[in-house]
Structure formats: structure tokens, C-alpha cells
Structure 1
Amino acid sequence: MTAGLDTPDRRGRTGLDRHGRDLSGNPRVRVTDVAVLSCDWYVLRRTTFDYQHSDGHWSREQRETYDRGDGATVLLYNTGRRTVLLTRQFRLPAYVNGHRDGMLIETAAGLLDGDAPEEAIRREAAEETGHTIGTPEPVFEVYMSPGSVTERLHFFAAPYDRVARAADGYGIAAEGEDITTVELPFDEALAMVRSGDIADAKTIMLLQWAALDGPYRHPDQP
């Protein structure tokens, strides 16, 4: 008996080795085996499949995929003050891969955890910034690291009211979250992208969207 396969893992899941076996959207891909390598919290799988190349020949391939579920993120903006409200928190993967202190400035974000994307991002915005937002504006949906991670991230934007000062202690303490809000002038946030002080992909994408097509788009811009 194996946890996550025929008995529940610590998140109550079974049948994790069946995910992806019934894919049929691409006739050039034939999945032959799915093995669960880890399911301590998220799920690491090794999938074996036959792939038909452009010249017609078939090859046997293996890939590992990391399944952490889909997520959502939101850019909070205040056009009257021409500001954005971001977060700062410690990210161990960035820290071990060369970031000077692992403290990343980001848009509020989190996993869907079974909720609809709009519902999830309202929840995350409240947890991480203390702000209750209305109906967020959908921006786009993106696979952030499609070579290895299955996650599809839903991007949103929403206005926020003025905040008097940055605040500490947001997030869910039981999950180890310790989040600080950071209110920045929009132009300063863009400058921080150029300098490397903002190095989070989802945040950069939403700031660029805001400048090109969003609330801070120049009125004369085609």
C-alpha cells in the first residue's frame, strides 16, 4: 500500500499515479506510464510517453512534472495616487539560487485550492494585503514554467483604496507566512524592474501590462 496511490496521503489524496494517463488531445503523444516520485505536499511525477517527431519517427521519452495546483495573482493599483500595492516576503528557492536575501517584492498571489480563480484572488488579496477587492479584471492566463511545472497562473488587476502606511504581519502564520505590504509609485516600481530590485516574473508581467494596456497606459499610446 502506497500513500497517494491506493491509500490517502497526508492531504487525503489517492490515485495520484492516474493523472495524465487518459490524455488524448495530441495524437502524437501516447502516455504509457505515470510514476509518483513524491507527494509530501505537492506532487512530483515521472511520465513515460511515446512521441512522434515532425519527420514521423517515434521515440520513448520521460519527463518529470511538479504539480502544485493552479494559482492566481493580482496587481492592486490606485490611479488617483498613481501607485501600486505589492508585498514583500522571504522565498527560499530564490535565496538558494543567488538572490541576496531571498526577500522578493511581488504582487499578491496564491494557489486556487479548489476555488474559482476570482474567488481565490479575492481571498489572497485580503490575506496578504488586508484589502477587500471587488470583481477583479482578468488580464491573462500563463504557464509560468512549462518545461517542468504544471501550474497555470491566472492574472488579475483591481483598484485599491489608499493605505496610510505599509503594514507587517500579513499572511497565514500557521503556514509560515510573514508578509509586508509595499506601496510604490508606479514609475518607481518600473524602475525597480530595470534595476533588478523587482525580480519576480508575475510582478514584472503585470507591471508591464499596466504600462502597455492597463490603468497606466499613456493616453496617446496606440
Structure 2
Amino acid sequence: MPNNKIRNIKKEILSDNWYTLNKFTFEYQKDDGTWEKQSREAYDRGNGAAILLYNSKKGTVVLTKQFRMPTYVNGNDDGMMIEVCAGLLDGDAPEDCIKKEIEEETGYKIENVQRVFETYMSPGSVTEILYLFVGAYEDQMKVGEGGGAEHETENIEVMEITFQEALQKVKTGEICDAKTVILLQYAQIKGLL
């Protein structure tokens, strides 16, 4: 249902280099009935999917570690981030995307994934919807080395660690990626491991 408290939306492209940065100018009706002009920038990088791979028999999870420039320039000393496997949809259904990303990034081939919810990770500035999944893995599902797609300049380290170690890394701040924290806490709440 459209929001009737917004009118006269104008969109201006500020950058269309890697993804698209738009400036939206619009009028917003305040609670007192008056209209005020506002402008906001919104970064559109498409929607994505992320998954926590877990093995309840071994008590382990598979995570990735890679350099993230935006964190490096904002306080992350080495720029390295420990994260769940994730990627942009690029026109694929979320389930198809995440299965492809799992194999590219971790080397596991997983057929059964469970969508747990979808979320806006930074709704004040980024349009992305992130579809979050969990999926059980076993050692025999490993079909490759992982590490990411070469054409995407990814240099991903694959980490298999215990679930308890992952939770400890959240506690110490070594894992500070929102999607990863959310999925680890989901697994803890649901008793997946």
C-alpha cells in the first residue's frame, strides 16, 4: 500500500560506477499536516542473500574471512572481516543465488537451504534486502576449494570453526558483521547446534 504522506518524488543519479547512488528529493507530510521538503541519498547495490552453514554432529560452522575496504577506512585496523557466506542476487532467486555462492566461496555443494527471514541491513542509506538462510553441511558435500569467483577479485579464506568459538568471537568483537551475528544468534536461539 503506497504511503500517501510522500509526494513529488524526484530522483537524480549521483554516481553509477560500481553500483548506483541516487539522490531523492521529496515532500513528506508531518503529523501536524504540514509538508516539508526533504532529500536523501540511497545506495542501490541490488538485493543479496547470506547463509550460516552448520554441522550439528561436529558442532561446527563454516565462515569466510576477507578484506573489506569500507571497514578498513572506518576503524577496522586490518580490514579483515569474518562473515557468513553471502552474495548479490544478480537476477537469481535468493535460494539459487545462495547455493551458487556457497559453492564459489566455500567449496560445499548444498541442496537444502532454509530461508529464515529477510532484512534491511542499513535502511537509512542502502536499498538492499538481504535474504538470510541456514543450511546443514557434511564433510562429503565439499566439492571444491572455495575462495570466491576469480573474476570478482575475491580472496576468501574458508574457516570451519566450532559454534562455541564463533559465539566467543562475537563476544570479543572479532566477528562484528551484522548478518553473521544475526545468523549465529538465530542458530543459538533455535538450538541448531
TM-score range, shorter chain: over 0.9
Do the aligned partners of 1:32 and 1:50 also contact (CA within 8 Å) in 2?
A: yes
Query: Displacement, 1:169?
Result: 6.0
Q: Kindly indicate whether residue 72 of structure 2 is the aligned counterpart of residue 95 of structure 1.
A: yes
Runs of 4+ in 1 over 2 A off after TM superposition: none
Give the conservation status (yes or no) of the 8 Å contact 1:140–1:155.
yes
Distance 2:139 2:146 in 1: 19
Sort the Cα spacing of 1:123 and 1:169 in 2 relative to 1 into closer, same or farther, 3 A.
Answer: closer
Larger RCO of the pair (alpha carbons < 8 Å, separation 6+): 2
TM-score, normalised on structure 1?
Answer: 0.83
Calculate the aligned-residue CA RMSD, in Å: 1.6
Residue 93 of structure 2 corresponds to 116
* Alpha-carbon shift at residue 101 of structure 1 (Å): 0.6
**1:145 has 2:107 as partner:** no
- CA shift digits 1:114-148 (9 cap, x unpaired): 00000000010010000111121011100000000
The structure in which a higher percent of residues are strand is: 2
Query: Hey, what's the Cα distance between the residues in 2 that align with 1:55 and 1:82?
Result: 55
Structure 1 CA distance for aligned equivalents of residues 63 and 147 of structure 2: 12
Partner of 2:62: 85
| Counterpart amino acid of residue 174 in structure 2 | D
Aligned mates of 1:207, 1:32 — CA distance in 2: 39
Tell me the equivalent position of 2:21: 44
Q: Which runs of 5+ in 1 are unaligned?
A: 1-23, 217-222
State the one-letter code of the partner of 2:78: D
Compared CA separation, residues 32 and 213, structure 1 to 2 (3 A): same
- The offset of 1:31, in angstroms, is 3.6
1:175 lines up with 2:152 in the alignment:
yes
Name the counterpart of 2:112. 135
Residue 173 of structure 2 aligns to which amino acid in structure 1?
Answer: G
Give unmatched runs, 5+ long, in structure 2. none
Partner AA of 2:105 in structure 1 = E
SS of the aligned residue for 2:122 comes to coil
* 8 Å Cα contact 1:137-1:158 kept in structure 2: yes
Tell me the CA shift for residue 168 of structure 1. 6.6
Structure having the higher Rg: 1
Instruction: Report the residue type matching 2:148 in the other structure.
Output: G
- C-alpha distance in structure 2 between counterparts of 1:39 and 1:49, whole Å: 21
CA distances 1:87-117 after superposition (whole Å, capped 9, x unpaired): 0111000111111211111000000000000
Query: 1:3 aligns to what?
Result: none
Q: Would the alpha carbon gap of residues 180 and 168 (structure 1) be closer, same or farther in structure 2, given more than 3 Å must change?
A: farther
- Give deviations 1:27-76, integer Å, cap 9, x for gaps: 00114311001111200000111100112111011000000000000000
For 1:59 and 1:86, the matched residues in 2 are separated by 46
Are the equivalent residues in 1 in contact too, given 2:50–2:130 (CA < 8 A)?
A: yes
Task: Provide the identity percentage.
Answer: 51
1:71 aligns with 2:72: no
Q: How far apart, in 2, do the equivalents of 1:175 and 1:119 lie?
A: 18
The structure 2 residue matched to 1:154, chosen from 115, 131, 137, is: 131
Distance in 2 between the 1:152 and 1:62 partners? 21
1:200 aligned residue: 177
